[in-house]
Amino acid sequence: MNTQAWIHHFEINTRLNDHLELPDVPCALPESVRGPLAASIATFQLGESGTGSRLRRYAREVAPLENFRGYQRAIDLFIAEEQSHSQLLARVVGHLGGTLLTKQWTNSVFRRLRFLVNLEFAVQVLLTAELIAEVYYGTLYLRADDPVVHRMSQKILRDEMKHLAFQREFLSERVATFSPIGRWLWRCQFQAIHAVTATVVAWDHRLALRALGVSPADFRRRCLHAWERFQSRLEQSVETCASGQTAIVSGVAGAGLQRMDR
């Protein structure tokens, strides 16, 4: 995994988020849109506000491995970028005249679920959130007729696309070490978690989605399509990594046999 490239990316990009200027204009959205949208964004803001302490703890488990050297630093910067999103979203909630949340039931369940097993499972749950966020911020970018919401959603959407690439690069190397049945089980688990989460999020944000002219069912379908695209790319990356690992093992074995022949 090219952790140094990701460290460089996060160091630069998080500073851009911290200094991002939003249009200095009042919100002109009708109340039927403004209210539900402010409540919806406040929920996402709460989800981005975590400290990432458990994710950091899991990351320390793989950080000593040669192919993940620097991963701990990359995770620290990744979490800092998520927190910069929280600050940006808080500014937008204020622009919309909404109220920030300190607790929300779906966020509480999601955080508990994230750390039930191990790092791969935690990343799997994080990926679910980021795939849904990709669809959510894409919807805001296309549907919300407000320059502040438009600017915010454009920036976070770009960041989420990079987050997906970051997690895919990590998982491709980890999942490549699984047995074929292990990979199949991992895929089924990922698909199930994503499907359930997409259904819950679509229902929980139904008022904002409908205010933007999107049905919860259509939002859920878009989320499932996003998962299918990501999973297809991940499987291609896993096959590439698995082939590379096989070649390395074969090369080491061949070199050992040559030494024995001498």
Residues 6+ apart with CB under 8 A from 180: none
Most confident option among 162-166, 171-175, 252-256: 162-166
Q: Residue 106: is its pLDDT beyond 70?
A: no
Confidence of residue 239 (pLDDT cuts 50, 70, 90): very high
pTM for this predicted structure: 0.87
Per CATH, is 31-250 categorized as 1.20.1260.10? yes
pLDDT tens digits for 64-73? 888 888 999 9
pLDDT tens digits for 184-206? 998 998 999 899 999 999 999 99
